Structure 1
Amino acid sequence: MITEKKVSIDLKKLINENHIYESVNIEYKRARNELPRDFWKTYSAFANTAGGYIILGITENNEQCFEVTGVLDSDHILDQLFSIGNNPNKVSKNILSTEDIEIDNIDGKTVIIIHIPEVSVQEKPIFLNNELSQSYIRKHSGDYKISTDELAALLRDRSDHLDYELLDNYTIEDLDIDSVERYKFELHKRNPDMGFNKMDNDLFLQRIGVLVEDRNDNRIIKMRLGGLLFFGKYEAIKSRLPHYHVDYFDRRGETERWRDRVDGGNFEFPDLNLYNYFLIVYDKLSNSIERPFELDTNMIRKTQVDIKTALREAFVNMIIHADYLNSRYSLIAEVYDLYYSFKNPGTMKISKSEFFLGSNSRPRNTLLVNLFTRLGAAEHAGSGSQKIIKVVKEHQFSLPEIDSNCEQTSFKLWVVEDIERCDNLTNKEKLIYKSISQGRIEGLSKSEIQDLHPEFSLSQLTRVLDKLVDKKLIIKQGGNRNRTYARSFQPLEAISRFEHISEAIKKLLLKDI
């Protein structure tokens, strides 16, 4: 029996503030005595996309506004929910438990709030009526039947070795030998005792997993798809993947188009395989860093090595996690004045929280991961993301932004603080923000801020503080008499504090052993 309890989303607040509308992760449905027929389309869509909440007992009226109408028989509706959900002929898998369901009373009317979690990549797609084509995904505030390409992408994502595909009729002649020789030289410098420099190219490519025996075809030596992508001649790659395209833009400044571009297929870059793309573009990314030098605590000039490391990790992450069988999107790295953008075809195979915490890693192209790891340009087990987060925290940059759907992932790496992104703040407003951000964690009172800035009148200071609060740069804490103002708490700070707490606990435990 499901008991009434606190809802996971503040539905009452949404209603009181007139913010009750459907979105990418909220769906309202009228339900009096029966579970709505279209419930399962939304169930499938949320499960296959990013999860969400279905609220039963709220109806869209003739004025296209939502109002609470309530459910009359919640027990019967919940019986239907689990009865149908556990019928494999109706739904491919039941992903709900009683913990995902909450009952609330709003203005004397009962509503049922059902949390639909996003399922793992191995479980997707969740489909209906025993037909894979009856899979849905969520776009904006609607449920849409999955396309053939989107379904194929979900099924491909179940594999962690997409680039292990063995290719017929491709030989070493389809590779750019200069790329192979350059890579072999780099590996020899890193591992001089391995004897890579003494190997012929065939043996070397077998040692690094690019050429392997096909045990299902008389042990014939064949090339893996990842090897073709990494070392291949451009036309050879295009013959297997006609949609293959890599790009780089420098969009800094006021130029209408771009300052610089590296374009796959351009005669200036005749064999732009993934290795050449990495070498050329990473050099341009490194040279794009124009932030001024700063002094560290020992009054020694900081270099930008750490920012280059973050750029390298983000750039390589884009390359190794791309779905190269996706025919709609390309690899695109872009430089802007305040941030870097990295886009690749394919959804992110882990959650955003797993990325930021570095708690998990799900490769899509294992061979590419291995080839970049040998160069020292990639990390196993998710530690690459932690290098990015470390740089962001140390420089107090804005939190990186990730947008991922069924077909494309976009990663934005900011290289400025939040305050620098607000182009409509005055210097005085930025000055007040800086004083608050450098103050105590619990915040500063208005009188303390005024003591720091006696040039401001009380009314001027009040207007500035209200504006900073409206922009969510600072927060108000406490009542009028005890009110303080503090910098908005950032997600990365929570991660940092969690790390400090974990380390403190470890030390205490070790002390007792």
Structure 2
Amino acid sequence: MLYDELAEIIANLRDLGGDHAFVEAKRAETKLPKSVRETVSAFANTNGGVLILGLDEANGFEATGVRDPAKMEADLAATCSENLEPPLRPLIGTHRFEGADLVVAEIPELPQSTKPSFSRGIGMTQGSFVRVADGDRKLSPYEVQLMVANRGQPRDDEQPVSGTTIANLDNQLVETFLSRLRRHRGRAFADLDATAALRRAKVLIGDELSLAGLLALGEYPQEFFPQLMLTFVHYPTKSGPDPRNGTRFIDNVAAEGPIPIMVDEALLALRRNMKRRSTVRGSGRAEAYEYPEAALREAVVNALVHRDYSGPSLGTQVQVEMYPDRLVIRNAGGLFGSVREENLGVEGTSSARNATLLKILEDSPVPGSDRPICENHGSGIPTMLAAMRDAKLSPPRFADNISTFTATFPNHTLMGNDAVRWIGSLNEHGLSDSQCHGLAMLFHGETLNNQAYRNANDLDSRVATEELGDLVARGLLVPGGGRRYAQYTLAEDAAPHSSGSPAPVKHRADRREEILAALGDGESTRADLVAATGLHDRTVTRWLSTLLRQGLIEATERKFRSPNVRYRRTPQRTLDEPGG
């Protein structure tokens, strides 16, 4: 890790007043804290992270240091390799910071095939941890089981369901399914009778139905698994039931039957409870539902198809909850395989926990149409994001919690009148549409990082990084969490009032006077100016370029971005002169 990156991480810890999901600081002057094993396990089981030994969180992350850094490095390395399973080999080093020695370890995330990381002395069930917010949480036995199952391809959906026969299938669904199989996969199914075809498709395992076959084509799967259904609840307030008048819910639906029927009933309930909003298009107005149906269909199908169907989760429904400000869709089982929160939405990214169920549903049509329930092309999340973009709505937020996966759809128009008025009040010229969308997300209280920005604007990572960097350089955004884990917030003097109205313009956009005042009559490097002004490096770089172009300063070297370049004022020019 570079010194500048470490300094940025510590500055962010001090601003936050606490640890965060990717960084843990511990006071460790003389010995390795016992809780280090939990933290290292948590980082390895989540998204990786940075452990800093020698910072005192209780005293504002003061650099108290480590007395014997060489011994501390050796003790930490031994703990990671000897006390944890599988052994970990983090990058460990000592950095001199504010006169103290800090031991810093960068903990990589383990591959899916070797999780979970756990303490050998306690065992896998009791000694596995995961990172949640700024703390380490012990994994439940169910979460440990999920991690172990995810090392390979789960087969829970292929298990035969005791007591079932071919008579428990829905005849109409089976007829349509077999017709599509013979039409689209003739080489494998054209010459088989119905029973043989159902066995080859793994709808039947011997003479019993597989769980996948029952869920996709069964007449009433809930006869055998009462809780494998979908529940829909429309709540009257943002927090749920209304305590003022005792209203628990506006609508409450239990969608049962096979998956094609549950999808259909869920969408009917959503349509019935959604409001219609008018938008201006060209010379006229168009009406649309609060949430685009294409996005909701994909979210409901994903929840039913990709949920966990192992034994401990068979008592859990897929839950759809509608609130005045958001729609939440939740299912048992987190993300599986190579799919991660950071690559959700990347076209073609796909990993099927329930491969047999997904294969059957490829040839199971939506009721009343010839369109299959799902396509198994990794297009579900991209379809959701595209539908929300087309409707000018914020992208859904995804949360993977190992035991659950949640998709939350905010209920607001991204570029509504208030957001447009606020962005206009910033007096920034040359912002791209995607930059305006990113600002609008923060205006509405959404989380903004590189992934969320890409999802909202359909950009690749490089363009997103450049555009976010430009917003930082303009002084509109403040990055936190370090380069690797950067999340962005609005700069204090750019943020709207709590009422949502635009903040008074403070001429935040022009930083030339601050740069010139910091230069004074001497010479300074860019790093000197960053320290003197408190501005972000990107902001200082942007205004140095402007001042150079206007002839108000000059550089000692031609390599403008070199850290060794020094700058000084040009005595014959001032800001008030023409061209300044």
TM-score w.r.t. the length of structure 2 is 0.63
- One-letter amino acid of the structure 2 residue matched with residue 274 of structure 1: I
Amino acid at match of 2:349: N
1:39 matches 2:36: yes
Task: Kindly indicate whether residue 392 of structure 2 is the aligned counterpart of residue 396 of structure 1.
Answer: yes
Q: Over residues 210-258 of structure 1, what are the superposed CA-to-partner deviations in whole Å (9 max), with x where a residue is unaligned?
A: 114xxxxxxx444322222333455x6564x565443112336797333
User: Residue in 2 aligned with 1:343?
Assistant: 330
CA deviations 1:284-314 (Å, max 9, x no partner) are 3345554345565697968779922111111
Is 1:347–1:406's contact at 8 Å kept on the other side of the alignment?
A: yes
Q: Give the corresponding residue for 1:331.
A: 318
Closer, same or farther in 2 for the Cα pair 1:15/1:245, shift >3 Å?
closer
Instruction: Measure the CA separation in 1 of the matches of 2:8 and 2:319.
Output: 39
1:132 and 2:163 aligned: no
Residue aligning to 2:355: 366
Distance 2:381 2:222 in 1: 29
Match of 1:272 among 244, 257, 264: 257
- CA distance in 1: counterparts of 2:213 and 2:502, whole angstroms: 47
Q: What is the CA-CA distance between 1:362 and the residue it aligns to? A: 1.9
Quote the residue 1:460 is aligned against: none
Q: Distance in 1 between matches of 2:48 and 2:405?
A: 17
Q: For the residues of structure 2 that align with 1:432 and 1:238, how far apart are their CA atoms?
A: 55
AA in 2 matched with 1:344: N
> Are 1:384 and 2:380 an aligned pair?
yes
Secondary structure in 2 aligned to 1:161? coil
Paired position in structure 2 for 1:75: 70
Deviations 1:312-333 (Å, cap 9, x if unpaired)?
Answer: 1111111111112344743112
Larger deviation: 167-176 or 435-444? 435-444
Cα deviation, 1:340-387, whole Å, max 9, x if unaligned, reads 211001112222111132452221111222233333332324221111
> What's the offset of the Cα at 1:465?
7.5
The offset of 1:430, in angstroms, is 4.8
- Structure-2 residue corresponding to 1:468: 496
Q: Is the 8 A contact 2:63 2:100 kept in 1?
A: yes
Shift of 1:191: 7.6
Could you say which residue in structure 2 is the equivalent of 1:115? 106
The amino acid that maps onto 1:111 is L
Alignment correspondent of 1:450: none
Q: State percent identity of aligned pairs.
A: 22
1:55 equivalent in alignment to 2:52: yes
Partner Cα separation in structure 1 for residue 279 and residue 426 of structure 2? 19
Q: Name which of 226, 231, 254 aligns with 2:212.
A: 226
Match of 1:259, as an amino acid? I
Q: Does structure 1 retain, via aligned residues, the 8 Å contact 2:116–2:147?
A: yes
Q: Deviations over 1:434-476 (max 9, x none)?
A: 64699844389xxxxxxxxxxxxxxxxxxx9855288799999
TM-score (norm 1): 0.70
Q: Summarize the Cα distance change of 1:127–1:193 in structure 2 as closer, same or farther, 3 Å threshold.
A: closer
Aligned to 1:491: none
Determine helix, strand or coil for the equivalent of 1:154.
Answer: helix
- Structure 1 residue 201, shift from structure 2 partner: 5.3
C-alpha contact (below 8 Å) 1:49/1:405 kept by paired residues: no
Which sections of structure 1, spanning at least 5 residues, go unmatched?
213-219, 265-270, 421-426, 445-463, 484-513
C-alpha distance in 1, partners of 2:21/2:180? Answer: 50
Verify the 8 A CA contact 1:228 1:237 in the aligned structure 2: no
Change (3 A) 1:142 1:466: closer
Residue type of the partner of 1:363? A
Q: For 2:197 and 2:355, how far apart are their aligned partners in 1? A: 18
Q: Which amino acid aligns with 2:389?
A: K
Deviations 1:124-147 (A, max 9, x none): 111122732322233454434433
Q: 1:202 to 1:106 in 2, by over 3 A?
A: same
Letter in 1 for 2:211: L
Query: What does residue 507 of structure 1 align with?
Result: none
Ranges in structure 2 where 5+ consecutive residues have no aligned partner: 366-371, 434-491, 515-580
More RCO (CA 8 Å, sep 6+): 1
**Alignment partners' CA distance in 2, 1:252 and 1:204:** 48
Contact 1:246–1:263 under 8 Å retained in 2: yes
Establish whether residue 143 from structure 1 lines up as the match of residue 136 from structure 2: yes
State the aligned residue count.
431
**How far does the alpha carbon of each residue in 1:3-57 deviate from its partner, in whole angstroms, 9 at most, with x for none?**
753326723423653x332344432222235433331121112222343332210
Q: Distance in 1 between matches of 2:396 and 2:29?
A: 44
Q: State the partner residue of 2:299.
A: 314
Partner residue in 1 for 2:145: 152
In the alignment, the residues of structure 2 paired with residue 438 and residue 395 of structure 1 have an alpha-carbon distance, to the nearest angstrom, of 26
Could you tell me how far apart the structure 2 residues matched to 1:189 and 1:60 are? 63
CA-to-partner distance for each residue in 1:48-86, whole Å, 9 max, x for gaps? 23433322102355xx76532111232332233334433
Cα distance change, pair 58–411 in 1 and its aligned pair in 2 (3 A) = same
The 1:392–1:242 alpha-carbon spacing in structure 2 relative to 1, beyond 3 Å, is closer
RMSD of equivalent CA atoms: 4.2
Residue 510 of structure 2 corresponds to residue 479 of structure 1: yes
